Structure 1
Amino acid sequence: MCEIFIRANPQSYDSRTRSVRLHGVVTSIRLENLFWEVLAEIGERDGLGVTQLIEKLYDELVAARGEVGNFASFLRVSALRYLALQLHERIPSDLSVPIRSLDARQVLDRLPESWATPGLRPRPH
């Protein structure tokens, strides 16, 4: 079992810090390379660079919750959630399908309780 995991390219779990500008404020975000790769894939689906995606996620998180908390952890969970939703066939594996074209209500319908925030509903499409 462990061989599946230990054969990962060591560069994938090396951390890299990126400086990003969120509304004029420069901040540093440290993530493992694999998370940066997944975030790049998510952004590319909608024609966004990683920094643009991060800014969009930040803005929508603030709008939905009023606060950010641990943003680096949020980005890691977003990347894992994206992959899990693909695995569960909620997000198409076809990278030509933009995320913005998906109906959030359908993607999120009947997910396990631990995957959703109580009381936080998807915004209308």
Structure 2
Amino acid sequence: MCRLFASQDPASYAAETRPMRLHGHATSVRLEAAFWDILEEIAGREGMSLNRFVSVLHDEIMERQGGVANFASFLRVTCLHFLNNQDLHAAQVAARRDARMPAPGREPAQGGERVGGQGAGRAEPVVVA
């Protein structure tokens, strides 16, 4: 059993520090490469760049909880939550995408009109329970 885990590519658990801008402040976040890969996958599914996705997560955790003691740990647990709930995440992304699409037979908005009302075109919040 342990051979499976012990045979992992060392590059997957090598720590990488990446520069980020969170709520207007330049900082850096250090995570293992495997977690960066998962975050990039989530960001892609959300239609965001990695930096934008991490910034949205940071803003949401600050809004909901007023702060986070260890943001890198929060990101790791976010990755685990995503892996354990991929079906739920896919359904949420599809529902948001469907909500932004015009009803069948209805023309898309023109002349600067926004589909979806107030806030259309902005990134939707990511639900991390």
Q: Please, what TM-score do these two structures have when normalized by structure 1? A: 0.70
Q: Distance in 2 between matches of 1:100 and 1:16?
A: 34
Change (3 A) 1:21 1:99: farther
Please state if 1:13 is matched with 2:13: yes
Q: Distance in 2 between matches of 1:25 and 1:49?
A: 18
Equivalent pairs, count: 98
Q: Distance in 1 between matches of 2:81 and 2:35?
A: 11
Give the partner amino acid of 1:98. Answer: V
Change (3 A) 1:77 1:69: same
Contact map agreement 1:13 1:34 (CA 8 A) in 2: yes
Unaligned segments of structure 1, at least 5 residues: 103-122
**Counterpart of 2:69 in 1: which secondary structure?**
coil
Change (3 A) 1:99 1:58: farther
Question: Once the 2 structures are TM-superposed, how far is the Cα of residue 100 of structure 1 from its aligned partner?
Answer: 7.1
**Counterpart of 2:21 in 1: which secondary structure?**
strand
Q: Where in structure 2 are the equivalents of 1:63-82 lying within 5 Å?
A: 63-82=63-82
- RMSD over aligned CA atoms reads 2.3
Change (3 A) 1:41 1:12: same
Q: Distance in 1 between matches of 2:94 and 2:3?
A: 33
Contact map agreement 1:18 1:30 (CA 8 A) in 2: yes
Change (3 A) 1:81 1:14: same
Q: Where in structure 2 are the equivalents of 1:7-86 lying within 5 Å?
A: 7-86=7-86
Q: Distance in 2 between matches of 1:20 and 1:91?
A: 24
Larger-Rg structure: 2
**Counterpart of 2:64 in 1: which secondary structure?**
helix
Runs of 4+ aligned residues of structure 1 deviating over 4 Å after TM superposition are none
